[in-house]
């Protein structure tokens, strides 16, 4: 199984694989979520195992770059940068980390539904 291990102390590496960390925690039951989210996490981990047979490859460096950019954007109310929660990093990472041989994204559209007051940064 593919796992992402974050350093125990300090900041994670520059190109840390946030999406795989979230998927691993969801599948292991460490993070409790819906059946659809569990299925999405399993699909992510399964795709990592067989990415050599897919037309797409997982590029955690690309995902981390976009996550870092989004985290630099200011909150509309406070004007301060707003760090993403782990599930938000998974969403952004999944959308931007899977690419084909030409660098085109695997997923170009997404329907994201979150509860009220749950960090709806995608509106």
**Residue 114 lies inside a defined structural domain of this protein:** no
Q: What is the pLDDT of residue 114?
A: 80
* Range of the structural domain that residue 23 is part of: 18-100
Q: What is the pLDDT of residue 120?
A: 61
**Residue 62 lies inside a defined structural domain of this protein:** yes
pLDDT of 2 strictly over 70: no
Q: What is the pLDDT of residue 82?
A: 85
**Residue 26 lies inside a defined structural domain of this protein:** yes
The domain total for the chain is 1
Q: What is the pLDDT of residue 14?
A: 73
Q: What is the pLDDT of residue 78?
A: 86
The structure's pTM equals 0.83
Which of 50, 45, 38 shows the shortest CA–CA distance to 1? 45
Q: What is the 3-state secondary structure (H, E, C) of the chain?
A: CCCCCCCCCCCCCCCCCHHHHHHHHHHHCCCCCCHHHHHHHHHHHHHHHCCCCCCEEECHHHHHHHHHHHHHCECCCCCCECCCCHHHHHHHHHHHHEEECCCCECCCCCCCCCCCCCCCCCC
Model confidence pLDDT, tens digit, residues 36-93: 999 999 999 999 999 989 899 999 999 999 999 999 998 888 889 988 999 999 999 9
**Residue 87 lies inside a defined structural domain of this protein:** yes
Q: Give the model's confidence band at 115: pLDDT under 50 very low, under 70 low, under 90 confident, else very high.
A: confident
**Residue 31 lies inside a defined structural domain of this protein:** yes
**Residue 110 lies inside a defined structural domain of this protein:** no
**Residue 60 lies inside a defined structural domain of this protein:** yes
Q: What is the pLDDT of residue 13?
A: 72
| Rounded distance between C-alpha atoms, residue 12 and residue 18, angstroms | 10
């Amino acid at each position: 199984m593919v796992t992402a291990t974050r350093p125990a102390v300090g900041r994670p590496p520059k190109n840390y694989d946030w999406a795989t960390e979230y998927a691993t925690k969801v599948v292991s039951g460490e993070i409790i979520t819906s059946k659809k989210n569990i299925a999405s996490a399993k699909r992510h981990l399964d795709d990592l195992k067989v990415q050599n047979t897919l037309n797409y490859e997982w590029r955690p460096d690309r995902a981390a770059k976009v996550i870092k950019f989004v985290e630099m954007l200011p909150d509309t109310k406070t004007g301060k940068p707003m760090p993403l929660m782990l599930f938000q990093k998974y969403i952004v990472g999944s959308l931007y980390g899977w690419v084909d041989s030409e660098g085109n994204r695997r997923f170009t559209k997404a329907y994201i539904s979150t509860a009220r007051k749950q960090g709806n940064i995608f509106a």
